[in-house]
Amino acid sequence: MSKSKAFSLGGMSLPLDIDAVLEEAEAQPLALGTGPVAFDFGFRFVRFAGRLEQSASGVQLKLVGDLGPMPYSAESPAARSGLARIVDAGNSVLGAGSFRLAQGRILLGGELGVPMPVSAVGLVSAVTRFLVPATPYMELISMYIRPPLAPARPGESAVRPEWRKSKRR
């Protein structure tokens, strides 16, 4: 059984009806004249936050997702080393700064151009063009650490059990 998908824009959750979106995309462009538009969505158990801003050069989408914590060396040197290699490889393919470490967290983000007038189709297309090439790296990262929105027991470490440093007696 398939799950229904929802698209949240500016705090409003809408069912994603492709036929209606395509019919009304040009008739109902998003209004950016009153300031930036913020939205968020989940993809592969990761929450992404987006912000649309209009400037003289067009509309820019700033997108960032928190993929989880970078383990400390004392917790798992193998996981930390593997994750660092994935981040470096991802940046060499996707562009410098796509993956970055901030306050001990692995982030995936970037700035994307969105065609004007901004429509749901144009916005979803821009996000998709960014996320599809990053998906294999997200999957590799999730082999080391549990994604933030994935089910877990309270207090359970984000580092997968097979990568945790074992206590030797």
Question: Which CATH architecture group holds 36-148?
Answer: 2-Layer Sandwich (3.30)
The whole-model pTM stands at: 0.76
Q: How far apart are CA 14 and CA 138, in angstroms?
A: 26
Q: How far apart are CA 53 and CA 75, in angstroms?
A: 40
Do 14 and 8 touch, CB atoms closer than 8 A? yes
Structure tokens at 3: 């799950």
DSSP 159: B
Q: Per-residue confidence of the chain (169 residues) as pLDDT tens digits?
A: 444 455 555 444 444 444 444 444 444 555 555 678 888 999 999 999 999 888 777 889 999 999 999 999 888 999 999 999 999 999 999 988 899 999 999 999 999 988 888 888 888 899 999 999 999 999 999 999 999 999 989 988 899 988 887 654 4
CB atoms within 10 A of CB 100: 14
